[in-house]
Amino acid sequence: MARRSGFSAQTLSVLASLVEVDPADWRHGYQLAKETGLRSGTLYPILIRLAERGLVEACWEDGQPAGRPRRHLYRLSSDGLAAARAALAVAAPERRRRVAAAGRAGKRKVAVAGA
Amino acid sequence: MDRFTRMLAGLLGRSAGLLPAARRDWAEAVLAEAGEVRAGAGRVAWLGGGLWLVAREVVMGRVIRVLAFAVAAAGMVWIGWPGASSNSATPLNRVYAVGTVVLLAVLPWVVRRYVGPVRSGWAPRAARVGGYAMVLALIAAKTVKDRLGSKLGAYFPVIPPVWAPQIVLLLVIAAYVAGLLILTSRRRVRLARWILPIGIGFGAVTAGVLYALAPLGVAVDPSGPSLKWWGLAALALPLATGFLAARLSARDTRPAALGPVQQGSLAASCAMATAALLLAVLTSVTIALFPHHVPLQSPPPPPGGGCETCDPNSVVIPPGLRHEYWVELSVGQAGETPLAVLLIGPFLGAWLGVLGGGLARRSPGISRGGGGPHALSPPQPLGRLMASDANREQVIDTLKAAFARGGLTKEELNVRTGQTFAARTCAELAALTADLPAGLTRTQLVRKPAQAQPRQPVDTGVVWSAWGLITPALFAAIVAIGDPTPTDNKPIEKILSLVT
């Protein structure tokens, strides 16, 4: 199934994690690592590849937060969101439920933006 | 453990500098979040992953390619260097082994100034690595073969070395490498998808088949049946490749600067160049490895001395060395046909490719594909987030594209480029390109209708300079020099005696 969508299982889990809750939210690397259970050496190459294909946007956090360095933040681009939904739709059935939830959340957001 | 973690973090921070500017952000991102990972084994693993990331990127990046090239080049010079100075091939070998290495090292820097770095994707990178490996293997095998072919130089000059063909070979190699670098570069030449892999693939398959027919080259038996197959392949390969490439480029809807016939011609000359180079490499390596399997070029002279006694200019061969002389002569001359094909192959391919492309254009159902700029969504508002170097590069690309299309004046471009470097947030960057067409933000090249602008002088000039300018010059050189025989070669012998 992963082969049909063109993404590896690990990449799919990153995409699922980025789609979940609110795709417009900016996420940071450690958060994604916790959600997907991937190690940094696996997660970051995936993010680099997705960013180079224009599916993920990356930017540094604004300002200097107290007590910690600035974070590098990620979210799906509009192309990335479409690609992630398409890929997850053909992936394992237990994901389908989560994607549907994310899709409803996305539609709600579009409706709000339209109104 | 704490000290170890700090050491790893320091190592990661320093090693990030090994990455190109656009990738450095990612290593710094891993470092920035290390503080949030639970101290101990988890944080060590996180930092270790970051180091792994840097190592992976560095290995896949430029450093490892430069190292691999240095090792291969040193190996080739090492193969080409030895040999007694009485062997007439030795001084030649030393010159062109070193010349080739200098050429391979310098050309990417020269070409990069005009056509940019290598195009992203596996195919252009693989083509570059493969092309370099082929050239190194060819020169290494040829130095071995030449040395084997004039061992008797220790006794008398059996085959006087001829400098002109070697210099021509060096120039041909330079043209091949320049062509390879231009075709796999990011700017200038916009070939439709699959054209380069198809050209290279067709050429490689043809070379494989022809090599199976004549593993030691066809020069050893010019009347043999394999020469006919060579002729057939030299006609069929460029015609078929040109036809297919022209059809593909007409169907392709991506932005392309070259017309179908030009793309067909380029693909065909690419196929011929690949076939010629591969054949030359395979044949030369076979001869260098199995010199005793090379068939004798012509029957040995009669035992009485033959023509040596009637021709005062000919080299007198002691009777005991006569057989060895013929073996060496055959080894030295074998594999010359593939080297000649190396010179004329791309030229022939370019012309027959035009023919193939023209046939494809006339065939029904083909018209120049439409298109228009890619309908890409405008960039998402990034708000008051801090801009990275990668973001700035993207904006500068957009500004340059707008300048190229006439949307910005030179002054505006300069002012805005300055503002790009001064901008701190993504919002400030977005403002710089806000009044430019959205389609430009991700694709720098916008397709222009073929009818409106049938020729693009700069692009076409760069493409044809590789094959169309250098190859005829080489032809002229060959014709002017003629076919030097040992007796014509006195001035070169004098120069050689000074060198050795």
A38: left (phi over 0), alpha (psi -120 to 50) or beta: beta
Put simply, whether A45 touches B (Cβ < 8 Å) is yes
Does residue B81 sit in helix, strand or coil?
coil
CA distance B132 to chain A (A): 27
Contacts with A49 from chain B: Cβ below 8 Å = none
- Mutate which: B44, B52, B384, B444, vs A, most A CBs within 10 A: B52
Does residue A68 sit in helix, strand or coil?
coil
**B16 touches B27 (CB < 8 A):** yes
Going by C-alpha positions, the residue among B383, B485, B377 that lies closest to residue B429 is: B383
pLDDT tens digits along B195-228: 888 999 999 999 999 888 877 776 545 566 677 8
pLDDT tens digits along B16-50: 887 877 788 888 888 888 888 888 888 888 999 88
**B136 touches B73 (CB < 8 A):** yes
CA distance A47 to chain B (A): 9
Contacts of B246 by beta carbon, 8 Å cutoff, 6+ apart: B260, B261, B263, B264, B356, B357, B358, B359, B360, B361
Q: Which residues of B377-413 are buried (b: 16+ CB within 10 A; e: fewer)?
A: eebeebeebbbbebbbebbbbbbebbbeeeebeeeeb
Kindly report the length of chain B.
Answer: 500
Higher pLDDT, A76 or A68: A76
Put simply, whether B61 touches A (Cβ < 8 Å) is no
Residue A44: give the domain boundaries: 2-61+69-114
Q: Cα-flanking dihedrals φ and ψ of residue B56, to 5°?
A: -60, -45
Compute the average pLDDT of residues B331-343.
81
Does residue B20 sit in helix, strand or coil?
coil
| Residue appearing with tokens 């084994």 | B41
CA distance B389 to chain A (A): 10
State the CATH number of the domain containing residue A13.
1.10.10.10
Q: Is the pLDDT of residue B75 over 60?
A: yes
pLDDT for res B277? 94
Cross-chain residue pair A40–B50, CB shorter than 8 Å: yes
Q: Can you tell me the ipTM of this complex?
A: 0.73
Put simply, whether B386 touches A (Cβ < 8 Å) is yes
Does residue A58 sit in helix, strand or coil?
strand
Tokens of B70: 């240095």
Compute the average pLDDT of residues A46-70.
85
Of B60-74, B203-217, B432-446, least confident by mean pLDDT is B432-446
Put simply, whether A109 touches B (Cβ < 8 Å) is no
Compute the average pLDDT of residues B425-443.
65
Cross-chain residue pair B386–A70, CB shorter than 8 Å: yes
pLDDT level of residue B157 (50, 70, 90 thresholds) = low
Distance separating alpha carbons of residues B21 and B18, to the nearest angstrom: 9
Contacts with B53 from chain A: Cβ below 8 Å = 40-41, 44-45
Put simply, whether B41 touches A (Cβ < 8 Å) is no
Cross-chain residue pair A44–B388, CB shorter than 8 Å: no
Q: Among partner residues B50, B377, B388, which is closest to A59 by beta-carbon distance?
A: B388
Residue of A nearest to B28 (CA): A72
CA distance A73 to chain B (A): 9
Tokens of A5: 């969508």
Kindly report the length of chain A.
Answer: 115
Going by C-alpha positions, the residue among B84, B83, B143, B478 that lies closest to residue B284 is: B143
Tokens of B413: 């471009």
pTM, entire model: 0.58
Put simply, whether B93 touches A (Cβ < 8 Å) is no
Put simply, whether A58 touches B (Cβ < 8 Å) is yes
Cross-chain residue pair B49–A28, CB shorter than 8 Å: no
DSSP sequence for B236-269:
HHHHHHHHHHHHHHHH--S--SS-HHHHHHHHHH
Tokens of B123: 């195919």
Going by C-alpha positions, the residue among A83, A94, A66 that lies closest to residue A18 is: A83
